[in-house]
Structure 1
Amino acid sequence: MGKYVLVIDEGTSGTRALIFNEKLQIVAQSYEEFTQYTPSEEKVEHDALEIYEKSVAMCKKAIGEAMISPEEIACIGITNQRATCLVWDKETGEPLYHAIVWQDTRTAALCQELNAGEWGEKARKTTGWTLAPVYSSMMLNWYLNNVPIIKKKIEAGEALFGTIDTWLIWKLTGGKKHAVSYSNASVMGSLDLKTGEWYDEFLTYLGIDRKIFPEIITDSGDFGVVQKDILGAEIQITGVIADQHAALFAQGCRTAGTGKITNGTGSFLDINVGTECVISNQGLNTVIAWKIGDAMTYALEGYESVTGSAVQWLRDGLEVITESSETEALARSVEDTNGVYFVPALAGLSAPYHDPYARGTIFGITRGTKKAHLVRATLEGIAFRLKDIMDVVAKEAGIKMKAIRIDGGASKNNLLAQMMADMMDVQVDRPFSVEATSLGAAEMAGLFIGLWKEEDFVEALTIEASFTPEIAKEKRSKAYAGWQEAIKRSMDWNY
């Protein structure tokens, strides 16, 4: 049997392929961004074929850089951006429209209408999510009502539907496997969390035939075999897990009451709540963290869809920086934000506000405001949004967390990590490797074939740095009061 695990880490901005050895060390990795399509302000789309082709290219590149043969790869793990979905022709394998991304808000008006009626509470209590544009089922409803070829193909039994993990599995296996993992299924707004079955009543109401939905498989399980002509060998896909869930698993948060924050395109705070399905009443989402064998583990989650991508906007939209890595030095060049607050609601506000009509807003600008103040306010805005979510977690769980682990690319920023510790009043622990998402997918895949046991993962991530609160309670309270006023003014802006 091979001794390496190949991971496809499908993000919102790009695709990464990594090779892990038997010691869970990364021996090679490759990355490439893919195109972000924004045909209008409320729409965010991806070209699914571009994602697939770049995924295969990155896998081949990583295998080459690791100087191994495809036959040496024991299995493949996949982790992916969640909820992003598409419909494709099951005969030709061609997408019938761009994939609609989880950040997209085109269904906001319909979601608001449904939330005002019986489906608001009914859907939330069944799916664990406040009914919102992030629901894949709402995206599918939009496809049916706005893309005639999709409606026609579905009615003729010639189309399939799925999230990005489903799409990759289907393409890699040559159309032999149409599947989704439990973790990804739980984020589609289409699953009854307690039964683990597709939510037929809601799907029927939306005019959706569940026949186009994929089979649900345990996160550590049999997802088929990659065709030999794609990577040079037939390789099993044995682990598929949603990105945030993968990070929670890899960060060692495998028992109730432990949690992590992943800082990527968005920021996600997840708390393991064990084997009981707890539906939040404080604006958090309930997800299936993972299912291994017969054991289902749940988590409470709060997220903000635009945090790291707010920094990306500073680079690509506002063009005040040329590299994201510049933000730390630039923000440190000033003592504070000079009274500037930046609410990064570039795609609305997520938990606990759930306002798709909020818009990015910058308050407190004076003639003395420089770009360094704006950059610092952007980092502070990320930390404030995480405090918003952490406070809800404290109310929901009835506990004050003392420490939390962080991962994701933006977590490399020491100033941001310190701001998080200061604003949330917790110890923030960062591991040596912030690629926890990829590691979680590798662990899931290796578990299924017996390459590792769960106890082997204890030392997989060691802490590289810890950040403890450095500001007084009064200063934190004053800063946060200003933030809450800024949030209030940004809400319902585009209503």
Structure 2
Amino acid sequence: MTHILAIDQGTTSSRAIVFDGDMRPVASAQEEFPQHFPASGWVEHDPADIWRSTLDTMRKAAKGHDITAIGITNQRETTLIWDRATGEPIHNAIVWQDRRTADTCATLRAGGHEAMITARTGLLLDPYFSATKVGWMLDNVPGARARAEAGDLAFGTVDSFLIWKLTDGKVHATDATNAARTMLYNIHEGCWDAEICTLLNIPQSLLPQVHDCAADFGVTEVLGTPVPILGVAGDQQAATIGQACFEPGMMKSTYGTGCFALLNTGDTAVTSRNRLLTTIAYQLDGKPTYALEGSIFIAGAVVQWLRDGLGIIDDASQTGAMADAADPEQTLTLVPAFTGLGAPYWDSACRGAVFGLTRNSGPREFARAALESVGFQTHDLLEAMQADMGAGDGAALRVDGGMTASDWTMQFLADITGANVDRPIVQETTALGAAWLAGMRAGVYPDQTGFSATWALDKQFAPRMDSPTRTSRIATWKDAVRRTLTKE
């Protein structure tokens, strides 16, 4: 039987999942790796951890299976630079959550450059994206800028780094979805933007070649026999594909470390009036399909904080029952701005806050507030999408990611957004999207129409909260956010 191996390299762990010829997961392996926080608002990964955990999980999952092709999906915006001759990174990977370049972005914004950058890349001037991270490494790693200008260094998001390592340095490439998240790529012309590179003082010799999501990304022999890498997409775009959101107007929201909602806008790159991002949902046969995206920095990470920071839970699965048992007379509101707030606020300087504390507030109330914060943030995204497109209010939202296993969280999400929340049977949609790209390219999986027909509903959560309660809860949330922001 034909098997496809999907690499899902995430923010807190690396996973590998093997899918059979019917696109069913038949084997998997996962390995967490450490997060590094060298300063307030700074987040790094050791590239060796990324590579080791990816390689280990690939080999464990693939054992005993004949692998026809490999698909890669990855945490986006996380930035690496390495030596072309040795493959050695010049610095730890700077993670998408990292805010160290906030001052750089503020300077560029004050210089009047944001409008041009947004018009070409679809992105806002924010430290979230790769470009200013690249500049920071070149300016702060001794000798890096001279080596870059000499053509000795290579930049990549995590997909590019893995492709380089998997192909033993033979291929330096990325796909259009990852390129679109660097703040260096012109999503309308489909190329690296020379003017932005010049503005940010980034040599174009650093940049990888950009391919479609389903393309030839080289061959790897790390599994013992040559296997082609035929599919690549950033994690949120891979989830959009895995949820079969191929028609304009379809929406998905993924709940991992962060939360990301994407709305397919088809051939049109819609410019948001509400500080959402315009991005490439996927690119096939040289043709980009666009999306509006809202990015939340902290979703599943707030549950990790309950476990690792506060020590009030041992496992994420405990939170739903705790939230259900929380005191209904208390209304704790947690704004999880641990690394700033993403869409639609884009305030990199604000930090987390809790409102409504009383002497009776305890672990159950904190658990409920943490889970509710994810629903409230999603509401903000859908509200912005509705304002931009007339979409979001009452429409179905396809969900995936680790937090969707919590029925309590998904019911609150439906209640507070007013949308039907559809959870699919196959919840590994990010890996499935990467697998489908590779399998479709290899000729063993169906086309878009055939793939869409395989999507199946596990459970739909319909809104149950009455309108006055919903309105009141949203008003309380918005007041808490207003008090947390450093800027109006």
Q: Is TM (by shorter chain) over 0.5?
A: yes
Query: Do the aligned partners of 2:148 and 2:205 also contact (CA within 8 Å) in 1?
Result: no
Q: 1:321-375 CA deviation, whole Å, 9 max, x = no partner? A: 1111110111111253712100011110000000001111001101111210111
- The one-letter amino acid paired with 2:348 is P
1:460: Cα distance to partner?
3.2
> Displacement, 1:135?
1.8
Q: Tell me the equivalent position of 2:372.
A: 380
Three-state SS of the structure 2 residue aligned to 1:415 is helix
Q: Look up the equivalent residue of 1:133 and give its one-letter code.
A: P
TM-score by length of 2: 0.98
What residue in structure 1 maps to residue 58 of structure 2? 59
Does residue 1:179 correspond to 2:173, yes or no? Answer: yes
2:484 partner letter: S
8 A Cα contact 2:340 2:347, kept in partner: yes
Show CA shifts across 1:138-183 (max 9, x none). 1011111111132232133211111000000011001110000001
Amino acid at match of 1:251: Q
Question: Which residue in 1 is equivalent to 2:399?
Answer: 406
Question: Which letter does structure 1 place at the counterpart of 2:381?
Answer: I
Over aligned residues, Cα RMSD in angstroms?
1.3
Q: Is the 8 A contact 2:6 2:435 kept in 1?
A: yes
Whether the 8 Å CA contact 2:271–2:278 is kept in 1: the answer is yes
**Alignment coverage as a number of residue pairs:** 486
Match of 2:444 among 448, 451, 465: 451
Task: Tell me the SS of whatever aligns to 2:143.
Answer: helix
SS at match of 1:231: coil
1:344 aligns with 2:336: yes
Unpaired segments of 5 or more residues in structure 2?
Answer: none
Q: Secondary structure at the match of 1:148?
A: coil
Paired with 1:337 and 1:259, the residues of 2 have a C-alpha distance of 34
Aligned to 1:487: 481
Query: Structure 2 CA distance, aligned partners of 1:220 and 1:29?
Result: 22
Q: Matched residues in 2 for 1:276 and 1:337: separation? A: 47
- Structure 1 consecutive aligned stretches of length 4 or more whose deviation exceeds 3 Å: none
Residue 369, structure 1, aligned to residue 361, structure 2: yes
Q: Distance in 2 between matches of 1:415 and 1:14?
A: 25
Does residue 207 (structure 1) correspond to residue 201 (structure 2)? The answer is yes
User: In the alignment, is residue 262 of structure 1 matched against residue 254 of structure 2?
Assistant: yes
Q: Does 2:214 align with 1:223?
A: no
| Map 1:47-446 → 2, pairs under 5 A | 47-64=46-63, 67-68=64-65, 72-226=66-220, 228=221, 230-334=222-326, 336=328, 338-399=330-391, 400-446=393-439
CA contact (8 A) 1:15 1:32 kept: yes
Q: Deviations over 1:79-123 (max 9, x none)?
A: 000010110011111111000000000011111221233211111
Paired with 1:7 and 1:119, the residues of 2 have a C-alpha distance of 39
| Counterpart residue number, 1:475 | 469
| Partner amino acid, structure 1, of 2:385 | V
The one-letter amino acid paired with 2:217 is F
Residue aligned with 2:189, SS: coil
Q: Which moved more, 1:329-338 or 1:30-39?
A: 329-338
The Cα shift of 1:401 comes to 4.3
Give the partner amino acid of 1:8.
I
The structure-2 alpha-carbon separation of the partners of 1:48 and 1:395, relative to structure 1 and needing over 3 Å to count, comes to same
**For residue 26 of structure 2, what is the aligned residue in structure 1?**
27
Is residue 250–residue 263 contact of structure 2 (8 Å, CA) maintained in 1? yes
- Opposite residue 396 of structure 1, the aligned amino acid is D
Unaligned runs of 5+ in 1: none
Q: How far apart, CA to CA, are the structure 2 residues paired with 1:50 and 1:103?
A: 18
2:41 matched residue in structure 1: 42
1:200 Cα deviation after fit? 1.1
Answer yes or no: is the 8 Å Cα contact 1:336–1:376 preserved in 2. Answer: no
- 8 Å CA contact 2:68–2:227 kept in 1: the answer is yes
Structure 1 residues 431-480: Cα deviation after superposition (integer angstroms, max 9, x where no partner): 12211000000000011121122233124331111101111110001111
| Cα deviation code 1:240-289 (max 9, x no counterpart) | 01111111111121010001000000011100000122221211001111
SS of residue in 1 equivalent to 2:310: coil
Judge conservation of contact 1:87–1:150 (CA < 8 Å) in 2: no
Aligned-partner residue type, residue 189 of structure 1: M
Q: Alpha-carbon deviation of 1:10?
A: 0.5
Over the matched positions of the two proteins, sequence identity in percent amounts to 39
Name the SS of the counterpart of 2:11 in structure 1.
coil
**Alpha-carbon distance, 1:13 to partner:** 0.5
